[in-house]
Amino acid sequence: MSEADIKGIRADAVTTWFEQNVEGAETPLSFSPIKGGHSNLTYKVEAADGQRFVLRRPPLGAVLATAHDMAREHKIISGVAKSTVPVPPALGLCTDDAVNDAPFYVMRFVDGVVLDHRDVVDKHVPESERSGLGSDVIEILARLHAVDVDAVGLGDLGRKENYLARQLKRWRTQWEKSKTRELEAMETVYDALSGDVPEQIGAGIVHGDYRLGNMLTNSDHRIAAVLDWELCTLGDPLADLGYLLNNWAEPGEEAGPASRGAALAPTVAPGFHTRAELVARYEELTGRDASKIDYYRAFQYWRLAAIVEGVMSRYLKGVMGADADTDAFKAQIDGLADAALDRVRSLGA
């Protein structure tokens, strides 16, 4: 693929910016898209001397007003890097749209494998190493939730209180703006969640998309970096635990309700912790009470359905730079909404 064929990259202008802002980046540079995400666009940048970088920019075309804030994402990664949570080193931020038609930021490339599918786990992680990997995942989450946000410069990232109420309002609004059809389960779940919001105890950094598929696993079968911080904010840390559990499918759940149209979850491979073991370990590490975790799981199924609907809507509008299987998206959204409804009904049992 020639540089002229790469949508979202103005190669000459971006190269000039690298020369002026990224120390040691020898030109010429080559650019190639990194597949995987469905929101911000990600590119691998290779310098003439073999150094590798990652460039992140918003989707092509119009986006929701509060989404895809490159300066905010750059700030988050720079702040979290001051803690013991592994993230790719942030190297620079460009807010001048004249360079690449939209803001972007650059990180150091981190070697590792994204475990986004059972087959990838089977290929790269021996069964004997999976328990240790799972321990790493939950321990990093506990460390993230223990970060002193003011000490790392993230105290003004967002409001700390009333996280769930704010999130319900935000994603209900996005659902209404982005939805391509009516889905009764989404309304039913919203009403149920809004009527029984748990009391928030404390506040911390909430990643917003914390799962194995958003991490790089190194050759030692441990987490080298946590990726995709665009949904990060401050709020109720238990929301991250609920989200992780929803994505932590257990063996035998290959055809679960939330997996319709999606790849097989990596943790259906044998050897990983059970959800109950993850919760117990999280409570041990943090001292938090996770007895109401099923509410957070219902919320996260519902929230993710709203997010994926928004992604599908952007694909249909042609602003994501590639075609997509919208039938698969619809199946996944329906599955997530049904899973949220099932979880809500179990809360009232």
What was the pLDDT predicted at 237?
A: 97
Residue 59 tokens, joined: 């989707």
- What region does 235 belong to: left with phi over 0, alpha with psi -120 to 50, or beta? left
Closest alpha carbon to 225 in 94, 120, 136, 127: 136
> Over the range 185-222, which residues count as b (16 or more CB within 10 Å of their CB) and which as e?
bbebbbebbeeebeebeebbbbbbbbbbbbbbbeeebb
CA gap 164, 148 in Å, rounded: 21
- Rounded to the nearest 10 degrees, the angle between the axes of helix 184-194 and helix 293-317 is 140
Amino acid at 326: T
Amino acid at 128: S
Closest alpha carbon to 88 in 109, 113, 117, 104: 109
Residue 316 to residues 34, 210, 321, Cα–Cα distance (Å): 21, 26, 11
pTM of the model: 0.90
Cis peptide before 86 (omega within 30 of 0): no
Phi, psi of 330, rounded to the nearest 5 degrees: -60, -40
What was the pLDDT predicted at 5?
A: 56
CA gap 92, 335 in Å, rounded: 39
- pLDDT tens by residue, the chain, 349 residues: 444 558 899 999 999 999 999 998 999 999 999 986 557 899 999 999 999 999 999 988 655 444 579 999 999 999 999 999 999 999 999 999 999 999 999 999 999 999 999 999 999 999 999 999 999 999 999 999 999 999 999 999 999 999 999 999 999 999 999 998 999 999 999 999 999 999 999 999 999 999 999 999 999 999 999 999 989 999 999 999 999 999 999 998 876 555 554 557 899 999 999 999 999 999 999 999 999 999 999 999 999 999 989 888 877 776 655 566 778 888 989 999 999 999 999 887 5
Strands 204-206 and 41-46: unpaired
Which domains are delineated in the chain? 3-108 (3.30.200.20), 118-347 (3.90.1200.10)
What was the pLDDT predicted at 65?
A: 41
**CB contact at 8 A, 241 and 226:** no
What was the pLDDT predicted at 252?
A: 87
CA gyration radius, the chain? 20
What was the pLDDT predicted at 37?
A: 57
> What 3-state class would DSSP assign to 126?
coil
CA gap 152, 107 in Å, rounded: 18
What was the pLDDT predicted at 253?
A: 86
What was the pLDDT predicted at 2?
A: 44
CA gap 255, 293 in Å, rounded: 22
What was the pLDDT predicted at 1?
A: 42
Strands 233-235 and 204-206: antiparallel
Contacts of 147 (CB under 8 A, 6+ apart): 80, 83, 85, 154, 204, 205
> Over the range 253-266, which residues count as b (16 or more CB within 10 Å of their CB) and which as e?
eeebbbbbbbebbb
CA gap 34, 24 in Å, rounded: 22
